[in-house]
Amino acid sequence: DAKTTQPNSMESNEEEPVHLPCNHSTISGTDYIHWYRQLPSQGPEYVIHGLTSNVNNRMASLAIAEDRKSSTLILHRATLRDAAVYYCILRDGGNKLVFGAGTILRVKS
Amino acid sequence: SQTIHQWPATLVQPVGSPLSLECTVEGTSNPNLYWYRQAAGRGLQLLFYSVGIGQISSEVPQNLSASRPQDRQFILSSKKLLLSDSGFYLCAWSNGLAGSEQYFGPGTRLTVT
């Protein structure tokens, strides 16, 4: 499984944008870039995914580098409810999601 | 819309006792189904996945087994629990398309004493 690298933790102020980076230099042409987040004592929640082009949905935006070796999850206005562990995962055509350690996002009021 | 249910929400069981955790999905047909475990302070580990009734793939050798008796029902079992089976068990589903996202249930927190 292709590997991703994320910072251990990040901090943001409430109401400000947050950019969560992810490096995936060994990504293959068929790997989708997925983002999930997990709040304490809850199951992971799907956030967004993309293949080559930038993606937007009601939760976030995903910016994918032109060479696809990195991506950034953008939360446009962080709220206290966005404090969670954010996982960047490469998903191939198979059936597995391989979760790493993720980035702990802390949001300050 | 699709909904995924898991029960029970919490469970405390003695070592050596059996286990049965159930997961059901509503609002979709022929989903791919998954069981994950998250040990305390650790990441999620895929245990089993299923692409159809009676079709189970195991990802890690362990004390657990899985079954899929119906299209939208996925069961995780053990005949004799070990202390190391404690953890947060999560069921998930996807629509089976390449690269598709997974949706997770609320989880079962199992403590083996």
What SS3 state is found at B85? helix
Banded pLDDT at A91 (limits 50, 70, 90): confident
**How many beta-carbon contacts under 8 Å exist across A and B?**
51
Phi, psi for A56 (deg, rounded to 5): -130, 140
pLDDT (tens digit per residue) in B63-90: 899 999 999 999 999 999 999 999 999 9
Ramachandran quadrant class, B4 (left: phi over 0; alpha: psi -120 to 50; beta: rest): beta
Give me the amino acid identity at A66.
Answer: E
Dihedral class, residue B59 (left if φ above 0, else alpha if ψ from -120 to 50, else beta): alpha
Tell me if B102 and A46 make a contact (CB, 8 A cut-off): yes
Q: Does A43 touch chain B (CB under 8 A)?
A: yes
Query: Which class for A33: exposed (0-12), middle (13-18), buried (19 or more C-beta within 10 A)?
Result: buried
Half-sphere exposure of residue A25, counting CA atoms within 13 Å on the CB side? 2
Tell me the chain B residues in contact with residue A31 when contact means C-beta distances shorter than 8 Å. 99
Taking CB atoms and an 8 Å cutoff, what residues of chain B touch A102?
A: 43
Residue of B nearest to A93 (CA): B98
Share of chain A above pLDDT 70, in %: 97
Averaged confidence pLDDT in chain B: 93
pLDDT of amino acid B1: 86
Residue A1 has pLDDT above 80, yes or no: no
Spatial separation of the C-alpha atoms in residues A45 and B35, rounded to whole Å:
15
Taking CA–CA distances from B89, the nearest residue in chain A reads A43
pLDDT at A94: 73
Instruction: Give the model's pLDDT for residue B84.
Output: 92
Radius of gyration of chain A (CA): 13
Are B99 and A49 within 8 A, CB to CB?
Answer: yes
Of B32, B98, B101, the CB nearest to A93: B98
Partners of residue B103 in chain A, C-beta under 8 Å:
46
Q: How far apart are CA A34 and CA A9, in angstroms?
A: 19
SS3 content of chain B, % helix, strand, coil (to 5): 5, 55, 40
> Hey, what are B96's tokens?
């089976």
Task: Name the residue among B45, B99, B106 with its Cβ closest to that of A43.
Answer: B106
Are the CB atoms for B74 and B35 separated by under 8 Å?
yes
Cross-chain residue pair B103–A46, CB shorter than 8 Å: yes
